[in-house]
Amino acid sequence: MVFNRERSGNFRQILEISERGEKVVTGGHRGRRAIFGVPKHNLTEIREGEGLSKADLARLSDISVKTIYAFEHHIRDTKRETKYKIVNGLNRNPRKTRTYTFKDVFPNG
């Protein structure tokens, strides 16, 4: 099922329902896909509050910057194992203001 929605200029969004039932927007910024089914998380707020860039967090978490970016921008969800790596990376920050639990960062799992 596909729904088209025109916007001003050359920007065009297409809302699709994926095979798994997720609502997906395509044709947005550089044709990227955004999945509306990605659970709410506090990662961006916490990362910025700790003064970490995406690259810093990726290095501390031992994952790619691309993964952090995609997750923060709801382009894709990530595995639970990767979420734990992110929490551990936040806790490895030498300038951290507190210790984070999984539920602090990902309240909806």
Could you report the per-residue pLDDT of 35-59, keeping only the tens digit for each?
Answer: 455 567 889 999 999 999 999 999 9
The fold of the 43-105 domain, in CATH, is 434 Repressor (Amino-terminal Domain) (1.10.260)
The H or E element that residue 59 is part of is helix 54-61
Strands, sheet with 12-17, edge to edge from the N-terminal-most edge strand: 2-6, 12-17, 23-26, 34-35
Query: Considering only 36-50, 62-76, 80-94, which range has the smallest mean pLDDT?
Result: 36-50
Query: In the chain, pLDDT over 70 holds for what percent of residues?
Result: 64
For the chain, the structural domain boundaries read 2-35, 43-105
Q: Are 92 and 59 in contact (CB under 8 A)?
A: no
Q: Is the pLDDT of residue 27 over 80?
A: no
Give the confidence band of 10 by pLDDT, cuts at 50, 70, 90.
very low
What is residue 6's predicted lDDT score, i.e. its pLDDT?
42
